[in-house]
A and B are shown apart, each in its own frame.
Chain A
Amino acid sequence: MSVVPDSSTDASGVGADPRTGPAPGPSRAARLATRGIPLLVLLVLLASAPLFAAPFTANTLSRILIFALFAVSLDLLVGITGLPSLGHAAYFGVGAYTAGLVSIHWTSAAPVPVLLAAAVGALAAVATGWLAVRSGGVYFLMLTLAIGELVHQLAQSLSSVTGGSNGLFGIPSVRIGGEPLTLAGYVYWYVLAVAVLGFLGLWLVARSPFGATLRGIRDNEPRMRSLGYSPFRYKYLAFVVAGGFAGLAGGLFAALVRIVNPSDAGFTTSALILLAVVLGGAGTLWGPVLGAAVVVLVRDTFGPQLDGHGPLLLGVVFVVAVYVLPRGFAGLAGLVPGRRRSTGGTA
């Protein structure tokens, strides 16, 4: 990590830093248009997908959205705060189990299960992050790995609550206004609505002064400390926020798949989502969305049709991605001709 003034990392996103240089009114409006219009088009496209997409496609898109939300929540830790976690699925799993249990034993009326999933995911992060964020680097990796395995083991052995290795099955469909959502298209809309709100939330966190502080800690923790910030508090809060959004994604997952099993909280899921973040480009928020899309498409859509070579294809994709796209899909954006100019720092 190079030591670069903060303005280079966050100024353009906020658009309010006076040091950014020539950023007068008109260009701001133009920028809003160039960024806003494609986003709007994308949203309209996504929202209209169920009208022409087959049920399996709608299901796949739902999965992609859920894993994308999960990946972006991890990106808040990995890319923005500089804390690579190998146990982020713990909070995803906690959220999924919470939503499943709430739906089975209490109510599946939207959005109660997902909100509780997010709340309990955040609580789990409050309980575990206090210990985890005191460390860094490899130690943080090991601690989060241990937390993930702990949750996995709990899910496995508390079989009277979680169903053990048979999984928590029989989760009822989400209900909106008393009507159960059984068709893939309606479930997709529900997932889309919650996921978009989730993305928005994470984006707001990342571009807020809080997010800027996290980047500062990532790039130069001693300096931030000397400026009077408490890195522990900021990292802890980031960990909790990331856990909450992972829980939200888990809640959606329970609503979509309607079975939760211990491996959803385990190492494989954690590793897969970390790979999605790396594949997409850590720290960009949008990159991990693409990473998650690739992971889901390769594993769930094309994988089962490959005579057992699904995991192999996934492995090849990762190896190729690491060599060809060292900074993930996000790195590709820097290659667009005429767009290399950076707002600060050295390119």
Chain B
Amino acid sequence: MSMAQGSSRRNGTRLGVGLLALTLTAACGGGGSLGGDEGGGEGGGEAGGTVTVGLVIPQAGVYTPLGEDMQQGWDLYLDQHDGQLGGYEVETVVADEGESPDTGVPAVQRLLTEGEVDALVGIVNSATALGVAEQVAEAQIPLIVANAGAEAVTKDAGNPYVWRTSFTNAQVAAAMGEHLAAEGVGPVYVMAPDYAAGQEVVAGFTEAYEAAGGTVAGQTLTPFGSTQDFQPFLSNVQSSGAEAVFVFYAGGEAVSFVQQYDAFGLKDSTPLYGSGFLTEGSVLDAQGESAVGVRTSLHYSTEIDNPANTEFVAAYQEAYGELPTTYAVQAYDAANVLDSALEGVEEVSGQAIAEALETVGEIDDSPRGPWTFNGQTPEQTMYLREVAEVDGTLRNTVVTDLGVFAQP
């Protein structure tokens, strides 16, 4: 470490200078970053008849399965419509959102500042959505969030360029809160991981549930991402005198929670309710028998009985050999919304698309049933779903619909 440092340092400086200068010159294309404050606002449009959409989805990290579903939903819509949206030929540029804003924000920044995209679709992580909300407005490129459920995306951080075709955390939970209060299931114990989404779900549920006259038996926020053993928490549930449990977990935590809830013997005495992500997508297969009978609320299920959904599920299964998920539907609907918006656009630009989104009105051919934008996020029907075995696979069967809910 200490040897030859003197001379190597001098050489080093020169080598360093050389290498850096090389990187710099290599990295510099034409352009200049001081002119024109509309950023990529005018990109792509003049090509005549094409629209470029940046699809920002997780391709690496824990959210990869969601990203795959979203890509498939997006591709399916385009395949069904000859690769066109609103009469414009679509060019999709895919970027990897990764796990966190550390990777997601630069990915979006790149699409925005290179000035090629007319609209952005995707974003799983709420923090990433919040981190780019202001930047898409500055670049005047509309962003259609196809998953991230933080309320602030379309409220505190909202602006005319940020739209959402998914849900809000509290919206999904509030539907279940009202339902459980109306059913009179008795005191409910509430559990969620201790991070922003978990906190929003707990708040949304508790508010709606108590407003409708329910009583909460207790509440626990478990450490996020590091809880593998839920037994200590489950024994609290047992001793609290709760008649039912409402939880929000997703991914690996959803699998271990549902299995341990069953193994602990609570499943038969205290019914388990949840936000739909508890049993959505690949986690359901992993949960297996333990999940049967779990009831959740969500804005989509493959078992919704309407013609648009029947057709969608069949087409999706044929194309990809698996059942669609809510993530696929959210991306599918994002394409659908862009399709409607672009129909009224004479010359493609981010600003024109954002304005056209205001006039989209009711989306009447969505697999989830008709819905409308309210505050730039869906006002939609929530379904009460119950896990059951259908044709040898576990599915979220629809018990009933819980009514139409807007962002709380």
Contact = CB atoms under 8 A, between A and B. Distances in A.
B64 interface: yes
B39 A38 contact: no
B195 interface: yes
Contacts of A258: 131, 134-135
Contact of B3 (A2, A50, A63, A186): A2
Contacts of B196: 159, 163-166
A31 B164 CA distance: 60
B21 A164 contact: no
Contacts of A218: 1
A195 B12 CA distance: 20
A54 B21 contact: no
A286 B98 contact: no
A30 to B, nearest CB: 11
A6 B138 CA distance: 54
A86 to B, nearest CB: 17
Contacts of A329: 15-16, 19
Interface residues of A, number: 97
A230 to B, nearest CB: 22
A231 B19 CA distance: 36
Which of B33, B96, B97 has its CB near the most chain A CB atoms (within 10 A)?
B33
Given A53-B29, A257-B105, A289-B16, A310 B60 contact: yes
Given A8-B3, A54-B29, A185-B33, A165 B12 contact: no
Contact of B11 (A269, A282, A309, A336): A336
B393 interface: no
Interface string A288-307: 01100100010111011111
B31 A53 contact: yes
A214 to B, nearest CB: 12
Interface stretch (A9-17, A109-117, A125-133): A9-17
B233 interface: no
A286 B16 contact: yes
B28 A53 contact: yes
Interface in B186-215: 194-197, 199
B59 to A, nearest CB: 3
A333 B9 CA distance: 8
A340 B1 contact: no
A345 interface: yes
B51 interface: no
Given A42-B17, A259-B105, A290-B19, A343 B6 contact: yes
Nearest to A334: B8
Interface stretch (B107-115, B256-264, B265-273, B337-345): B107-115
A311 B152 CA distance: 30
Given A169-B130, A290-B20, A307-B59, A49 B113 contact: no
Contacts of B98: 303-304, 310
Given A258-B131, A334-B11, A342 B1 contact: no
A167 B131 contact: yes
Contact of A261 (B37, B127, B150): B127
A69 interface: no
A334 B27 CA distance: 27
A183 B114 contact: no
Given A61-B27, A333-B12, A336-B11, A346 B3 contact: yes
Nearest to A5: B2
Contacts of A312: 60
A57 B2 CA distance: 37
Interface in B368-384: none
Contacts of A35: 10, 13-14
A308 interface: yes
Nearest to B39: A55
B126 interface: yes
B30 interface: yes
A93 to B, nearest CB: 12
A333 to B, nearest CB: 4
Q: Which of B23, B32, B60, B113 has the most CB of A within 10 A?
A: B32
A241 interface: no
Interface in A52-74: 52-61, 63
A34 interface: yes
A49 B6 contact: no
A165 B27 CA distance: 33
B14 A38 contact: yes
Interface in B128-178: 130-131, 133-135, 138, 150, 152, 156-157
B178 to A, nearest CB: 25
Given A55-B31, A261-B101, A170 B156 contact: yes
Contacts of A188: 33
Contacts of A308: 58-60, 64, 67, 96
B308 interface: no
Nearest to A336: B11
B4 A334 contact: yes
Contacts of B100: 261, 263
A54 B33 contact: yes
Given A165-B196, A184-B113, 15 more contacts: A8-B5, A13-B6, A42-B21, A52-B30, A54-B114, A156-B194, A170-B134, A170-B157, A185-B33, A186-B34, A259-B130, A283-B5, A293-B23, A301-B110, A339-B8
24 contacts: A1-B1, A11-B6, A34-B10, A38-B14, A39-B13, A46-B24, A49-B24, A53-B29, A54-B31, A55-B31, A55-B39, A56-B109, A156-B224, A165-B195, A165-B196, A182-B37, A283-B5, A301-B110, A307-B94, A307-B96, A310-B98, A333-B11, A333-B15, A342-B4
Interface of B: 1-21, 23-25, 27-34, 37, 39, 58-61, 64, 67, 94-98, 100-103, 105-107, 109-110, 113-114, 126-127, 130-131, 133-135, 138, 150, 152, 156-157, 194-197, 199, 224
Interface of A: 1-2, 4, 8-9, 11-13, 20, 31, 34-35, 38-39, 41-42, 45-46, 49-61, 63, 156-157, 159, 163-167, 169-170, 182-186, 188, 215, 218-219, 257-259, 261, 263-264, 268-269, 281-284, 286-287, 289-290, 293, 297, 299-301, 303-312, 329-330, 332-334, 336, 339-347
Q: Which 3 A-B pairs have the closest CB atoms?
A: A308-B59, A12-B6, A259-B131
